[in-house]
Chains A and B, each alone.
Chain A
């Protein structure tokens, strides 16, 4: 058996492709053993991550490439979003103050709220790799009382 267990998919930087990506994530999160609420949170975080790449990194260009690498690990489900733009310094990525109610600036905040870990790294192509990690709770730990 291969040491790496996962799915790799590439998409063009078009926002219309995010809906089918969420459909894929719906199946993948089920495979990872995530519950409905966690699955919805993963879909939200990946949508925000990809939207940020399209909007900020690729400046809404629709001919650029984004790679998604889904990894089924030991008790964790990781989604890595690779872009081929320029590296974004994580210290410059900030969400707005929630008290300052205005449109925009919520994407990073939502990602951080719903995922267990959010990590930005420079990748081998000079762009940014964003890893979103969700811990998979054991079935007994989900509090259904039916284990």
Chain B
């Protein structure tokens, strides 16, 4: 399934909603979408991965890059709605301890 990305402002947070496959082909597009909020140094970035069906190491790399940028300006980045399969990939790479991961968007916005 081709990747789709939507961006919206929710209070002081920017929520980026991702659907489809985040792989070596599509991750440059996700990186480009994240560039806007990261460039503006938004204090709270929520990435909703609820519609993501597949993620590979390129997708992980894109999110690690975003997290490092957010941390550099002391903002907060939270992932939410990960399917069991997608969460499994984060766990395989030990990234479930590096990212703040919440079950729902609401929890992510409150984090």
Contact = CB atoms under 8 A, between A and B. Distances in A.
Question: Interface majority SS on A: helix, strand, loop or mixed?
Answer: helix
A22 B54 contact: yes
Interface of B: 1-2, 21, 23-25, 54, 56-58, 60-62, 64-65, 68, 85, 88-89, 92-95, 98
B92 A113 contact: yes
Interface in A79-112: 98-99, 101-104, 106-107, 109-110
Contact of A48 (B2, B56, B98): B56
Given A98-B93, A110-B92, 14 more contacts: A18-B25, A19-B23, A40-B88, A44-B54, A48-B56, A48-B57, A99-B94, A102-B68, A103-B60, A106-B57, A106-B93, A109-B93, A110-B89, A114-B92
A15 interface: yes
A69 interface: no
A64 to B, nearest CB: 15
Contacts of A101: 64, 95, 98
Contacts, number: 67
Most B CB atoms within 10 A — which of A18, A48, A55, A103?
Answer: A103
A129 interface: no
A133 to B, nearest CB: 18
Contacts of B24: 15, 18, 47, 51, 54-55
Q: Pick the 4 closest A-B CB pairs, nearest first.
A: A103-B61, A106-B57, A15-B25, A107-B57
B2 A19 contact: yes
A44 B2 contact: no
B54 A110 contact: no
A106 B98 CA distance: 15
Nearest to B2: A19
Given A103-B64, A104-B57, A104-B61, A19 B89 contact: no
A16 B62 CA distance: 18
Contacts of B64: 101-103
A16 B92 contact: no
26 contacts: A15-B23, A16-B25, A18-B23, A19-B2, A22-B21, A22-B54, A37-B85, A40-B88, A43-B54, A47-B23, A47-B24, A51-B24, A51-B58, A54-B24, A98-B93, A101-B95, A101-B98, A102-B68, A103-B61, A103-B62, A103-B65, A104-B61, A106-B61, A109-B92, A110-B56, A110-B92
